[in-house]
Amino acid sequence: MKATARRLAPLLAALAMLGPFSIDTFFPAFRVMGAHFNVSPAAMQQTISIYLAVYAGMSLFHGPLSDAYGRRRVIIFFSSLFAVASLGCALAPTFGALLGFRALQGVAAGAGLIVGRAIIRDRFGGADAQRLMSQVTLIFGIAPAIAPVIGGWLLTLTGEWRPLFGFLCGFSLLLTGWCVWMLPETHAETLRTPLRPRILTRTYAAMLRDGPFRWLALAAGFNFGALFIYIASAPALILDVLKLGERDFAWLFVPTIGGMMIGAAVAGRLAGKRTPSQMMRLCYRLIAIGAVVNLLINVLLPPGVPWTVLPICILGIGMSLGFPTLSLVILDRFPATRGAGSSLQTALSLLMMSVLSGVVSPWVAHHPMGLALTSAGLSTLGYLCWKRAKSTLDIPALVPTSA
In a domain, residue 270? The reply is yes
Domain that holds residue 31: 2-184+209-391
To the nearest whole percent, how much of the chain has pLDDT over 70?
92
Instruction: Kindly state whether residue 128 falls inside one of the protein's structural domains.
Output: yes
> Which of 54-68, 111-125, 210-224, 295-309 has the least mean pLDDT?
111-125
Q: What confidence tier does 402 reach under pLDDT thresholds 50, 70, 90?
A: very low
Is residue 245 included in any domain, yes or no?
Answer: yes
- How high is the mean pLDDT of the chain? 84
Residue 106 lies in a domain: yes
Residue 399, in any domain of the structure: no
Could you report the per-residue pLDDT of 324-365, keeping only the tens digit for each?
888 878 877 887 777 778 778 878 887 888 788 778 888 898
Q: What is the pLDDT of residue 96?
A: 94
Residues 6+ apart with CB under 8 A from 179: 11, 15, 72, 75, 76, 79
Instruction: Give the count of domains, the chain.
Output: 1
Model confidence over 78-129: pLDDT tens digits? 999 999 999 999 999 999 999 999 999 999 988 888 888 788 877 776 667 7
Residue 401 lies in a domain: no
Residue 198 lies in a domain: no
| The model scores a pTM over 0.75 | no
Evaluate if residue 264 carries a pLDDT over 60.
yes
- Report the C-alpha gap between 385 and 70 in whole angstroms: 33
CATH of the domain at 173: 1.20.1250.20
Domain for residue 47, yes or no?
yes
